[in-house]
Amino acid sequence: MTDEQRLIEKLQLIEALFAGAATPGEREAAAQARERIRARLREQQVVDPPLEYTFNLHDRWSHRLMIALLRRYGIRPYRYRRQRHTTIMARVPKRFLDETLWPEYLELSKTLSTFLAEVTDRVISQGIESDNSDVEVRNGPAALAAGENISQPPG
């Protein structure tokens, strides 16, 4: 089984957990889990009308994950003109956001970030430099001449 297959399996298990799956058979039925969550969302929309929420996610992976989760549950993500591309707007019942969407997003994001960090470390170690230790820590800053402080690569 590849690393990617293990990641997909982990993500499906997380979804099953938030859908209330109790047995291994239920966990395998990701479509059933998704439908249970959608049904819960429909029920909550009756008693808890959707509110507009703004999600400001600063890295591309978190942004893409949130959009995918919203779409998975039939929620249409959008943004207004002149909003940053990193902004996601969505109308969601507060209870669904608090009890399902946000906790699931956090767990999936953590799992995905761990996987991406491991892949990045492995690729850099194998392809560029095997010393992956952090930078040296020194006591005080040396005086920098004008133009020596680079916050982004030249380009």
- Spatial CA neighbour of 88 closest among 104, 111, 69: 69
More confident residue, 21 or 84: 84
Token pair listed for 50: 């959707």
pTM assigned to the model: 0.67
Q: What is the pLDDT of residue 124?
A: 84
More confident residue, 95 or 154: 95
pLDDT single digits (tens) 34-43: 777 778 778 8
Tell me the angle at which helices 3-19 and 102-127 cross, rounded to the nearest 10 degrees: 170
DSSP annotation of 101 = I
Give the distance between the most distant pair of CA atoms in the chain.
Answer: 64
Q: Percentage of the chain with pLDDT > 90?
A: 28
Give how far Cα 126 sits from Cα of 47, 105, 122, 143, Å: 54, 31, 6, 35
- Spatial CA neighbour of 103 closest among 143, 38, 145, 95: 95
Give the span between the Cα atoms of 137 and 145, in whole angstroms.
20
3-class SS of residue 146 = coil
The answer on pLDDT for 111 being more than 70 is yes
Give the span between the Cα atoms of 75 and 93, in whole angstroms.
11
The answer on pLDDT for 149 being more than 70 is no
Give how far Cα 63 sits from Cα of 69, 72, 99, 134, Å: 10, 14, 20, 28
Q: What is the pLDDT of residue 116?
A: 84
* Cβ-proximal residues to 114 (8 Å cutoff; 6+ apart), any chain: none
Identity of the highest mean pLDDT range in 70-74, 75-79, 100-104, 137-141: 75-79
pLDDT single digits (tens) 46-87: 888 899 999 998 888 899 999 999 998 899 999 999 999 889
The answer on pLDDT for 8 being more than 90 is no
Q: Where are the domains of the chain?
A: 3-116
Please answer whether residues 88 and 101 qualify as being in contact, where contact means their C-beta atoms are separated by less than 8 angstroms. no
Identity of the highest mean pLDDT range in 26-30, 39-43, 108-112: 108-112
- 28 CB-side CA count, 13 A: 3
